[in-house]
Structure formats: structure tokens, C-alpha cells
Structure 1
Amino acid sequence: MTSQHSSDSLEGFARKIADMMNVNAVHNLRRLSGGASRETWEFHVGQEPLILQRVRPQRPGGLGSEAIVLREAFSHGVPVPELVIDGSISTDLERPFMIVKSVAGETIARKILRDEQFADARVNLVHQLGVAAARIHKVPTVGMPNLVEEDQLTMYQQILMDLGEPHPVFEIAFRWLEKNRPTTSATALVHGDFRLGNVVVSSEGLQAILDWELAHLGDPMEDLGWLCVRAWRFGGAHPVAGLGGYDELFDAYAHESGFRPDREVVRWWEILATLKWGIMCIVQAQTHLSGASRSHELAAIGRRVCENEYDLIRLLDEVSQ
């Protein structure tokens, strides 16, 4: 594609957005890096910075319930970007989309963990994450009728079986998880990918929680276990997001919710989360290897399967002591 053609296409897309929003023009439209299922664009209407997320071509499922969940979470005090337009069923931009207000801050985990400008933010971030998780789990689900509850253990057992690859460590982990499954104390809104990398942090601390496409109904301790997975510590020395300890997280959660998480229950979910991420790494590598989406990033993620196998061996050894 020539630069002129690219420029013309960008201008045409900007006009479509302006027409859809019923404004004279949008400015500074640029595409940002995004996930496998969404295009992400930044632009301005007047002085207001906005973010557009649009489903990529040939991606099934559209936006699902994400825009509705975002709206409900915002209205109940969860730190999330404010929804401006829900285009879940709109054809104005050809594919489902949503527009939210931009939130200033950083999302790159290694910068949050290491850069000096976030030194003060790091002091309180585990506490803020605990409070935010509790607020997520208090959001009433009656306004989100399309959310479903799936047994995570059964679902990922089936995914691994369908992959047809032998992974003895994963199979041992499944057996331990089945044998030691805790009783679910509640069913709540679960973010599904609650971790560094999906939060916006400024020098003052947590500003917003992003990426709600995996939101579902389930045990709220799932989010806390996912936050503690070693992969999501990004080299940090501490178990919760690389920043702090379990007690700090649990104390903050209890202060907001009135319920203090059980350490052993969260550990069960941390083990399941490690197993899930290992299986996700296989799936993403297969996406590349099958030719469905050729990507150096997807191929590289496939090499991380063994890291999760190692983490599972270590975790299972700890719980057997």
C-alpha cells in the first residue's frame, strides 16, 4: 500500500467516525498496538481524547457483553474508562466497536515495575488492586444477562484434550486441582484477565482497569489467583503483581468487601491460572503454526509453555509440603 493510499484510507475512516458521532471532524487519528481480537485507535474530538476499539475482520463473537460490563462497572465505582458509544450491534464502522474516554497513564508492566516516575505509585498499587477487585466483585450482575458461568477446570481440560498434545505436568496439575477443588462461596462478576498489563497506572497510582473481553460469572477468587501468577509479575520479586505480598492484597480486599480471602483457596486459583496460561500459550502458538495468523509474537509465546510447566512443578511441590 502506498503512503498516499494509506493517508486517503485514514482520512476516510476519520470521516466515518465523525459522521457516526455526529461531529464536524475528529483529529489526530492514529492506530495503537492492540490485541489479537481488536483494533485500537486514538483520536480527539475537540480537546477530548478518545479511544476506539473495533473487532478485527473475521473474528467471531463481536464485542460480546464487554460494553455493557464496562458501563455497569463504571456506574458502580470500578476504575474503568467511561463508555461513550456502544457500537456492539452497529454497522456504522462496518464491524462492532466501542468508544471510551482515554485514561492517561502507563500500561506497560515493566515500566510500572521499574521506572522512577512510578516509584510512589508502586507503594500503594497492591492495595489499590485489592480494592478494585473487591469493587468488581460487588457489581450487580442483573444488568448483564448475557454473561455466562463456565467451569474453568472442565473448560481447560477439554481445550487441552482437543489440542491432542501430551503434557504430563499439565495432566498432573489437573488431577491435583480436581482432588483439592475448594467450595465456591459466591458467584460474581469476574474480570477474567485482572493483572499488570491490563491496568492504567499514573505516577499517582491505579487509574483504570482495561480489557474486559473475558469477563464472565464465576468465583471472585479467580481474579486474585490470576493476579498472582508468576508470569504476571514480569520479573518482580513479590507474589502479587511483582509488587507486594498476599496479606497486603487480602487486607485491602477485606477492607472494601468485608470478606477476607482464604489463602489456600487463592492458591488453588493461582495454580489453575498458571495451568490455564500454559494451555493458552499452546493455543497461541498453534494459531501461528497452523497459518491462521502468522506472528512472531504468537510463535514466541509458544516457547513459554515450559515456563508454566516449571511453575506448576514448583507450586505443586509447595502445596505438598
Structure 2
Amino acid sequence: MADALDFSASAEQLQPRLQAAVSEFIGEPVTIDQLRQLTAGAAAQTWRFTAQSQAGEQSLILRRGVDADQFAGALGKADEAKVIAAAVACGVSAPEVLGVLHERHGLGEGFVMSCIDGETLPPKILKDPRFESARAELAGQCGTELARIHSVPRTQVNHLAVNDLRGQIDFYEDSYRQFDHPLPVFEAAFQVLRRRVADFELPESSLALVHGDFRNGNIIVDETGLRAVLDWELAHIGDPMEDLGWLCVNSWRFGNRDKPVGGFGDRESLFSAYQAASGQAVDPTRVAVWELFGVLKWGVICLYQCHVHLSGVLPSVERAAIGRRVSECELDIVDLIDAGGELWR
């Protein structure tokens, strides 16, 4: 058996092994073409290609895991694929998983899924006139989709760990301390969150499947609105309000500060749609706690990305640029604590 190709492999090197794997997944010989890399993100590579078989041609996506960057307990690709399959089976809008890569395929960790057409780049989603009508509906559609995600039976995702607010505060504060780069605003944020964490702990029965990274940039949008939810590697069992708070973090508004939901909508539309679809009331205070934690979490991740670059582990201009966004998170934390008033006293 050939060794798995590393992440510098070219399309020409990937193609024969990928063709064999997809033939196995589909159950008949296929010819793949137009294989091209779309992203080489922090957690995975994404490749798009077409597969031609007797049944016809289809557009597919290959997701390959990057073993060197599993910060924050990101799922392995096999486990991520299992979550996506469970979500799709329960009516969540996400790509269908055709098959999971194994050692025999010689491609490393990953999976193949269907390709859903649409836009993922936030600047285009927020500015392109083509999506004007979609933007008007998008916050409500996100609320409905999150309700579907949170309704996936836990028995279908029993391989996921519980990751509540207290556990996440512990994890990110421990990580932050390891960088040996103290920031007064981050110190204050950890303190105010720890003062209130006991007030927002939930019983085990109230925890649900949480996407963990539901935001503008991880959704596919077309002229009608939300088409699919992507990037499930941070999925876990936790407080459903975490996903709503994360979606409202200012970093995902991409400059549209007056549109708290992804830069395209308002909290009222998000909350009302979620309540209508789930039958569960939204607790705005818990969402606010998760939003503050989300900003702090993103700030620690920015520090981590900078550390990965500066340490020489994975040098990258993109990682260095992300590291410079720490200051944005500091400003957002100050704004949220100030606006929260008695919540943080």
C-alpha cells in the first residue's frame, strides 16, 4: 500500500487515488476531471472536481484534514463526516457525504461530499446586488437552520464530547496562558465570564448538538438565501445558545456593525425564527454571554494563529494577518462589557 500523500501534493498526484476512492464510494468506475484546490484553510484543504460515471456527471468536493492544526479539539474528518451525515438525515441543509477516506486510499484523512452551488465569500454575500433579496431573509433562515441542527437526536451523534461554557472557558484560558502574552482586556473578559458561569450552566438534558462554527463564511448562499451549512469540525454537545451567540460576533459582520447577525440581519429575526422552528424560547441573556465568550475565543484563536506562524510550525501570511486582528477583539470585548452593564457586575 502506498504511503498517504502529504498536503503539498498536486492535483496530478491526487487524481488517480481519488478516482479509485470515488469509484468505490459510488459502486462503479468513474473518471474524474477538473480537479482544483479551492482553499487550503487552517483546518482542511478543499478540492472540487467532477466525476463521470454511467449514471452521469456530478460535481463533488474532497475535504482533506490538516493534522498539524487541530487546535480547540477539532474533529477528525471521519467524525466530522459522521456528524454531517446525521444532520442531513434529520433535514439539515448540508452536503451529502458520499464516503470517508481510509488508509487503503492513500489520501490521508478526509471525505468526499456533494457540491452545492452558491456563494461562501462574506464580502460578496453582503455587498453583491445579486443577493439583496437573500440578505433580507437570511437571519430568519439561519434561525430555522440552527433549530434543525439542535434537534438532531443525540443518539445519532453519540461520538461527540460534551463541551459546555465552563469547559470552554477553562480550555481557552489555559491556551491563552501558554502564549505568555498577557492582555488586560482578555484578563478582564475571563474574570467577568467566570463570575457568571455558574448562573448559565444547563442540566445534561438541555444540551444538544451544537455546530460550533455557524457564521457568515461557513454557509452557502444563493439568490434565494441559505443553501447549506459547511465546516462541521467544531461540532460538539453543548448549549444551543452558543451557536446563536457565535453568529452575532462582530468579526463575522465584516464591517456591517449595525447588522449583528452575520452583517446581514438583526437579532429579532434570528430569535423569532429559531423559536418558531424549535418551539424553544431564546434566552437573550445567555446569547449575550456566549457572544462575549465568542469574541474572547476568537481573540485567543487569533493569538494561536500568530503563534503558529511566528514559531515556524506553519508559516503563513494569512496566519500573521489573523494574528493582527487581536486588537479588534479587544475593542469588541470593551464594547460588549460596557453595553452589558449589570450583566457583568
TM-score of the aligned structures, taking structure 1 as reference length: 0.93
For 1:260 and 1:126, locate their aligned partners in 2 and report how far apart those are by CA, in whole Å. Answer: 17
SS at 2:104 equivalent: coil
Is the aligned partner of 1:295 residue 2:316?
A: yes
For 1:238 and 1:12, locate their aligned partners in 2 and report how far apart those are by CA, in whole Å. Answer: 45
Relative distance call for 1:312 and 1:220 in structure 2 (3 A) is same
Relative distance call for 1:309 and 1:119 in structure 2 (3 A) is same
For 1:64 and 1:158, locate their aligned partners in 2 and report how far apart those are by CA, in whole Å. Answer: 27
**Kept in 2: contact 1:121–1:202 (CA 8 A):** yes
**Kept in 2: contact 1:14–1:25 (CA 8 A):** no
Is the aligned partner of 1:157 residue 2:151?
A: no
**Aligned-residue offset at 1:228:** 0.2
Cα deviations by residue, 1:195-219 (Å, 9 ceiling, x for unpaired): 0000000011100000001111111
Aligned counterpart, 2:148: 135
Aligned counterpart, 2:97: 83
SS at 2:155 equivalent: coil
Percentage of pairs with the same residue: 41
Cα deviations by residue, 1:173-199 (Å, 9 ceiling, x for unpaired): 111111122232621111111100000
**Kept in 2: contact 1:221–1:269 (CA 8 A):** yes
SS at 1:29 equivalent: strand
Aligned counterpart, 2:272: 251
**Kept in 1: contact 2:219–2:229 (CA 8 A):** yes
* Structure 1 residues 163-178: aligned runs within 5 Å: 163-178=179-194
**Aligned-residue offset at 1:134:** 0.7
For 1:199 and 1:101, locate their aligned partners in 2 and report how far apart those are by CA, in whole Å. Answer: 15
Q: Which shows bigger deviation, 306-315 or 185-194?
A: 185-194
Is the aligned partner of 1:112 residue 2:125?
A: yes
SS at 1:132 equivalent: helix
Relative distance call for 1:230 and 1:24 in structure 2 (3 A) is closer
Is the aligned partner of 1:52 residue 2:73?
A: no
Cα deviations by residue, 1:268-309 (Å, 9 ceiling, x for unpaired): 100000000011100000000000111111111111101101
User: Which 5+ residue runs of structure 1 have no aligned equivalent?
Assistant: 1-7
Aligned counterpart, 1:39: 45
AA aligned to 2:31 is A
**Kept in 2: contact 1:57–1:95 (CA 8 A):** no
Relative distance call for 1:251 and 1:164 in structure 2 (3 A) is same
Relative distance call for 1:318 and 1:59 in structure 2 (3 A) is closer
**Kept in 2: contact 1:200–1:210 (CA 8 A):** yes
AA aligned to 2:96 is E
For 2:178 and 2:68, locate their aligned partners in 1 and report how far apart those are by CA, in whole Å. Answer: 22
**Kept in 2: contact 1:54–1:96 (CA 8 A):** yes
**Aligned-residue offset at 1:12:** 4.2
SS at 1:142 equivalent: helix
User: Which 5+ residue runs of structure 2 have no aligned equivalent?
Assistant: 1-8, 24-28
Is the aligned partner of 1:278 residue 2:299?
A: yes
Is the aligned partner of 1:194 residue 2:200?
A: no
**Aligned-residue offset at 1:86:** 1.7
SS at 1:79 equivalent: coil
Is the aligned partner of 1:239 residue 2:260?
A: yes
For 1:132 and 1:174, locate their aligned partners in 2 and report how far apart those are by CA, in whole Å. Answer: 30
**Kept in 1: contact 2:36–2:49 (CA 8 A):** yes
For 1:67 and 1:169, locate their aligned partners in 2 and report how far apart those are by CA, in whole Å. Answer: 37
Q: Which shows bigger deviation, 296-305 or 23-32?
A: 23-32
Q: For the aligned residues, what is the CA RMSD?
A: 1.6
**Kept in 1: contact 2:14–2:107 (CA 8 A):** no
AA aligned to 2:300 is I
For 1:118 and 1:50, locate their aligned partners in 2 and report how far apart those are by CA, in whole Å. Answer: 24
Aligned counterpart, 1:99: 112
**Kept in 2: contact 1:81–1:208 (CA 8 A):** yes
For 1:308 and 1:201, locate their aligned partners in 2 and report how far apart those are by CA, in whole Å. Answer: 27
